[in-house]
Structure 1
Amino acid sequence: MQNWIVHKVLSEAVVKYPNKPFLICSEQSVSFKELDELSDILATALLKEGFEKGDCLAVLALNQVEWLYTYFAASKIGVCVVALNVRYRESELVYMLNNSKAKGIVSISEYQGFKFSSLLERIKGKIPTVEKIIFLEQGILGSLSFNDLLSLPLDREGLESVKQTVQEDDLVLIIYTSGTTGKPKGTLITNRSILESAKAQVDHLSIQEDDRTIGCLPLNHVGGITCTVHCSLISCGSIVLIPEFIPEKVLEVIDELKPTVFGGVPTMYIMLLSHTGINKYNLNSLKICIVGGSNVDPGLCLAIESQLPEAKIINLYGLSESSGACILSRLSDSMAKVLESIGVPIGDFKVKIVDDKRKELPNGEVGELAIMGRCAAKGYLGLEKETNNVFSEDGWLYTGDIAYLNHEGYVVYKGRKKEMYIQGGYNVYPVEVENILMEHSKVALAAGVGVPDAFLGEIGRYYIMPKAGQTITEEEVILYCNKHLADYKVPRQVVFVKQFPQTPAGKIQKTVLKQQYLAQESKNESPFLQFSDDNMPKKQQLE
């Protein structure tokens, strides 16, 4: 690929397939040419409203065409999009808008009864850099209308002049990390880094122009914007945009529109496969099912294989800091390989495993996973120390994840570095125990954390969500784990829950679970509350 600038890749797609549908959303279809023309008009409007290269424009919306009109318009004039999630509320939005010094925000007015129009009106005084508020629907006094901006005349000469100034290393996105520890960090993603990741994924999975990808992963996350949108852009494929993940809607889309690629986090697959009406839908169009976001347990892989026999299951490892995917299974991998590892580095990216002093370790030894490649983001916004710690001067991105390389060069994921706990002198990686727990026929989801213990230093505390209609006891869990795990890995505490705290990207927030436990312990209160759902055992549960 010659061009590593987002708006130029869009222009190339327009030349190849001007009238081909790129975005399909409900009854609406937008071709490459239409997207290019509409984003040109919006880019012109943004320039007229005072936006300049280097400014930031926040987007607070669902997976809808307006999100992408804004993104591509901003990319043409060197304005960086601050990708926000509709589940964020006041404290998060105020922090991110101020941290990014956003000059404006494009927003929906309401989501599930929550009025963003009222919120933005209320917090105006707290977000001093935000000069322009643009609503997709009815707004507030003094705000701009998105549709009005799209009706303005195009200044082609002025726009072309600005487009020529955009460089590969210019920012296109700020994506805030999940915030599982402390304040969220704004990850700085460039034209080059996002396209490098997407191009490597396209080549690795042989994604073609006739592929149609489901776009239900949020666009404020690399799973949505890189692994879905940019992969489809580079391959000149199509995206079926789904505003938000609703299992029945996704199943209907697969049945009606025959997409070939689906990507989701494990929670999404569990919800799809457990949907009561799944058997009435024809899902055979799916050729590739990508599972990312957290470790994929063997039971889930086998369930996907059973329900979607035509699809090849692919593990995907990526993070905001790598602008998208950097490790994937191979299309030729057997199920045994998919179950064993998360795959191999894609494109010309490299991986290594290092010890605590960042000395490279030989194959088979467990340590921190490091990635090298031009997919690496530019760093964290305003955080020099954190940037230098994660993004080294010699080009390595230190992920904070624990893994090892097997004899074939495949990456075997063991969990987050900070999730590991030491019980009685033994290192325990919760993901290994979680995999075993989720193979139990009565367990839907499981998450483990290490908590303090006066005798052993730390012990494993595991939160379990039973499958609907199932009853499981702590005794059953312990007995099952004793059969499959070394004794020091067996959970010492078992807590049953009806739901988990999740990040906007759908990952279980283990730090929240641990913080809740520590807060309850510090108050000398019991960490259990009575829970009475019929599908839960009659014992004290965490609410």
Structure 2
Amino acid sequence: MRASTVGAALKDAAARDKAFLYDGDDTITFTEFDQLTDRVAAGLLARGSRRGDRIGLLGLNTAQWLAAFFGAARIGAVIVPLNVRYREQELSYMLGQSGARMVISTAAIPDFDFTEFFAKFRPQAPGVTDYLFFGAEFDELAATPAEPVPDAAAPDDPLMILYTSGTTGRPKGAAITHRSMLASANAQADHFAMTDADVLLGHLPFNHVGGITCTIMAALVSGGSVALLPAFSPDGALRAIERHRVTFLGAVPTMYVLMLGRPDFADHDVSSVRLCMAGGSNVEPALAESIRRAFPGAPLYGLYGLSESSGACVLSPVDDAPETVARTLGVIIGDFEARVTGPDGTAVPSGETGELQIRGGCVTAGYWDMPDETAEVFLPDGWLATGDMVAMEPDGHLVLRGRKKEMYIQGGFNVYPVEIENVLTAHPGVAMAAGIGVPDDVLGEIGRFYIVPRPGAEPPTEDELTAYCRDRLADYKIPRQFVITTEVPMTPVGKIHKVQLKNDYLQGSP
């Protein structure tokens, strides 16, 4: 019988007296981490935290962050994970909307002091009555004498209020439960036959399901280890892979681009990697091929998931050919269900484009204290409307067409940017491509695509890109505008921030 709360899952794992976390020069076993979690839980109780309280957690990927997370989970508190890039506007909104009463934060990161920030910020979050900082203060809390602390949470209690990354507008807090997070983590671990011999790279931010569910929880339920990287850098990731003999490498496409772009990539020994996983956005065929060449012993698989599904819900089958992985998202995993629906909510025939909907144990409990938004996305019969447009092939593979809200209508034809982005990134001079629809007096909307040239290559011209698309796409899909740029805005988890691109355009930015 599998554990149905995070606290119980950690207790089960504590029977394995083997490495769980590699944090800098320290190695922490499952047993040691379980004992640390008990001390942190006791310390939180001593400070007045109780089941159901919301605790904001802001920091880098460290063992202290995880101890705070698991300690809070053990007493039944609800974690509100916050990114270190957030500032006044995001923090005041998220802490206020969630009703947080405590914040545990890093004291500082390069170029920013959070102790000074929160000293001035406190009047904007009157509901927060307790602030604690990682470092000596947290070490004191974690030294609280403690017997094993009983698991106070129930399986369907909220575990996290995880705010959406904002690619679609105002953040909404997905209420991830203990049961839903473990359902996703177990389905992923089963799908990839993860074992206690696996070592995962912990570089995806923990305030995102890629970091906390697909990495930490997947390792927890399979008995694997995690090499922690406080924040992603291509050099740091490659050094950690080599030092800790990482076997399971999960990253968003942008991170692969940055790692592969390192001039010293070939100097690093990455032969331990048995599996590469790419999620967060579509893996363009050209990038998929580059990843396969860079990690020759490791097949590449796609992952699809979102905050509202607690983590992975669609993965590439392990026997998929490389061409299939590059072309599709994968298939539904575990005992979850998937369907593709039209505008009227009924299923569309195989091969036709519609909205992807997911049902199963991974689906979260809705949006925190947002009943109207919850009703729009979490349907009465248990289906989650993802907002992603896909086509389902006869064998169940899902082909991404784009975000429902990203689609634009050019001259009366529906256009999904991801299809054009896949074509553009196959061009030898293109590293990244991002498309949006913008107003046009004649066609209603037209495609405007931002192009980041490939390092070391001659930047393509607009005429060259137009001709390239004309040879490969229907005429109504050909972008009418190209912007050659050195960078595009990114969300904190490494996705291209299309909302910002659209807003910048509407505000007159080039």
Task: Give the equivalent residue in structure 1 for 2:131.
Answer: 133
Alignment of 1:121-520 (within 5 A): 121-137=119-135, 145-156=137-148, 159-160=149-150, 163=151, 165-469=152-456, 470-520=458-508
Task: Give the equivalent residue in structure 1 for 2:4.
Answer: 4
Distance 2:440 2:318 in 1: 45
Distance 1:437 1:336 in 2: 17
Task: Using the TM superposition, give the Cα deviation of residue 155 of structure 1 relative to its aligned residue in structure 2, in angstroms.
Answer: 4.9
Structure 1: gaps of 5 or more residues: 139-144, 521-526, 529-543
- Secondary structure at the counterpart of residue 468 of structure 2: helix
Instruction: Give percent identity, aligned residues only.
Output: 45
Distance 2:67 2:135 in 1: 15
Alignment of 1:54-73 (within 5 A): 54-73=52-71
Task: Using the TM superposition, give the Cα deviation of residue 252 of structure 1 relative to its aligned residue in structure 2, in angstroms.
Answer: 1.0
Q: Deviations over 1:488-541 (max 9, x none)?
A: 111100011111111111111111111111121xxxxxx53xxxxxxxxxxxxx
Residue 36 in 1 paired to residue 34 in 2? yes
- Secondary structure at the counterpart of residue 449 of structure 1: strand
**1:500 partner amino acid:** V
Task: Give the equivalent residue in structure 1 for 2:99.
Answer: 101
**2:285 partner amino acid:** P
Distance 2:189 2:120 in 1: 44
Q: Deviations over 1:262-290 (max 9, x none)?
A: 10100000000111100111111111100
Task: Using the TM superposition, give the Cα deviation of residue 356 of structure 1 relative to its aligned residue in structure 2, in angstroms.
Answer: 1.0
Distance 1:339 1:399 in 2: 21
Task: Using the TM superposition, give the Cα deviation of residue 467 of structure 1 relative to its aligned residue in structure 2, in angstroms.
Answer: 1.6
Distance 1:505 1:253 in 2: 19
Task: Give the equivalent residue in structure 2 for 1:537.
Answer: none
Residue 52 in 1 paired to residue 50 in 2? yes
**1:424 partner amino acid:** G
Distance 1:365 1:383 in 2: 32
Task: Using the TM superposition, give the Cα deviation of residue 380 of structure 1 relative to its aligned residue in structure 2, in angstroms.
Answer: 0.6
Task: Using the TM superposition, give the Cα deviation of residue 75 of structure 1 relative to its aligned residue in structure 2, in angstroms.
Answer: 0.9
Q: How many residues align?
A: 509
Distance 1:362 1:468 in 2: 42
TM-score of the aligned structures, taking structure 2 as reference length: 0.98
Task: Using the TM superposition, give the Cα deviation of residue 90 of structure 1 relative to its aligned residue in structure 2, in angstroms.
Answer: 1.1
Distance 2:312 2:168 in 1: 22
Task: Using the TM superposition, give the Cα deviation of residue 126 of structure 1 relative to its aligned residue in structure 2, in angstroms.
Answer: 0.9
Task: Give the equivalent residue in structure 2 for 1:21.
Answer: 19
Task: Using the TM superposition, give the Cα deviation of residue 134 of structure 1 relative to its aligned residue in structure 2, in angstroms.
Answer: 0.6
Structure 2: gaps of 5 or more residues: none
Distance 1:410 1:254 in 2: 31
| Contact 2:107 2:134 (C-alpha < 8 Å) held by counterparts | yes
Q: Deviations over 1:190-238 (max 9, x none)?
A: 0000000000000111111101100100000000000000000000010
Distance 1:183 1:5 in 2: 30
- Secondary structure at the counterpart of residue 72 of structure 1: helix
- Secondary structure at the counterpart of residue 228 of structure 1: helix
Distance 2:503 2:269 in 1: 43
Distance 2:201 2:319 in 1: 23
**1:149 partner amino acid:** L
Distance 2:147 2:33 in 1: 17
- Secondary structure at the counterpart of residue 511 of structure 1: helix
| Contact 2:430 2:459 (C-alpha < 8 Å) held by counterparts | no
Task: Using the TM superposition, give the Cα deviation of residue 109 of structure 1 relative to its aligned residue in structure 2, in angstroms.
Answer: 1.1
2:113 pairs, out of 109, 112, 115, with 115
Distance 1:48 1:500 in 2: 46
- Secondary structure at the counterpart of residue 124 of structure 1: helix
Q: Deviations over 1:449-505 (max 9, x none)?
A: 011111111100000111223322111111111111111111100011111111111
**2:11 partner amino acid:** S
**1:378 partner amino acid:** A
- Secondary structure at the counterpart of residue 484 of structure 1: coil
- Secondary structure at the counterpart of residue 123 of structure 1: helix
| Contact 2:261 2:455 (C-alpha < 8 Å) held by counterparts | no
Distance 1:454 1:410 in 2: 39
Residue 75 in 1 paired to residue 73 in 2? yes
Task: Using the TM superposition, give the Cα deviation of residue 256 of structure 1 relative to its aligned residue in structure 2, in angstroms.
Answer: 2.0
Task: Using the TM superposition, give the Cα deviation of residue 2 of structure 1 relative to its aligned residue in structure 2, in angstroms.
Answer: 2.7
**2:140 partner amino acid:** D
Q: Deviations over 1:377-418 (max 9, x none)?
A: 111111101101111111100000000111211111111001
Q: Deviations over 1:430-452 (max 9, x none)?
A: 00000011011111111000111
Distance 1:99 1:505 in 2: 22
- Secondary structure at the counterpart of residue 367 of structure 1: strand
Distance 2:111 2:386 in 1: 38
Distance 2:135 2:32 in 1: 21
- Secondary structure at the counterpart of residue 67 of structure 2: helix
